[in-house]
Amino acid sequence: MTSVARAVVEVACSASYQVGVVLADAALNAELVQEDELVATADRFRHWAGSPAARAAVRFADPLSESVGESRLRVLMANHGLPDPRLQVEIRDDDGQLAGRVDFLLGRRLIVEFDGAQKYAVRASDALMAEKWREDRLRELGYSFVRVGWSDLDRPEQVVHRLWRALAARRSAGA
């Protein structure tokens, strides 16, 4: 038996920075561990092989990341110098009505959604239609979208290019 914090740190030391972020995000999101406990544990094992990556991973971890795909996408964005995204942002219209909650907001008006297909598994047609209406409503409010899926993570340079291009388009549009 070991603590959740130690398990995360040990795996991050032996695997990779990205794996460490995924595990730390998941543990924080599930409220299995506190951020300060993760950091203290990683610091305690600073002499282990792989500890620099583990220490960086637990410091980068975010409890708002809700899936492996979101965690991997955050690492990808950070590794390529994209602006820090805000996670799980609620967007409201002028009347204060919730228009949608989005995975990432880059800048002021670029929504980045990681589509893991899980939300479409049950009653797929209903979920897909609700997602289309939500996206239409957010576009009406002046937001742009970039969608990223599992297969996109195998082509990181293309994803990064799409994100930079979308940010540039937002800037040139004055948003």
The single-letter code of the amino acid at 34 is Q
pLDDT in tens, 151-175: 999 999 999 999 999 999 988 766 5
Contact 33, 70 (CB under 8 A): no
pLDDT of residue 123: 57
Indicate the CATH number for domain 69-172: 3.40.960.10
d(CA 39, CA 56) in angstroms, rounded, equals 9
Listed in order, the ranges of the chain carrying CATH 3.40.960.10 are 69-172
The pLDDT score that the predictor gives to residue 132 is: 85
Which comes out higher in pLDDT, residue 79 or 123? 79
CB 169 within 8 A of CB 144: yes
Looking at the predicted structure, is the pLDDT value of residue 139 above 60? yes
For residue 137, pLDDT over 80 is answered with: yes
pLDDT band at 120 (very low <50, low <70, confident <90, very high): very low
Residue 107 has pLDDT above 60, yes or no: yes
pLDDT, tens digit, 9 for 90 and up, residues 73-106: 999 999 999 999 999 999 999 999 999 999 999 9
What pLDDT does residue 117 have?
62
pLDDT score, position 37? 97
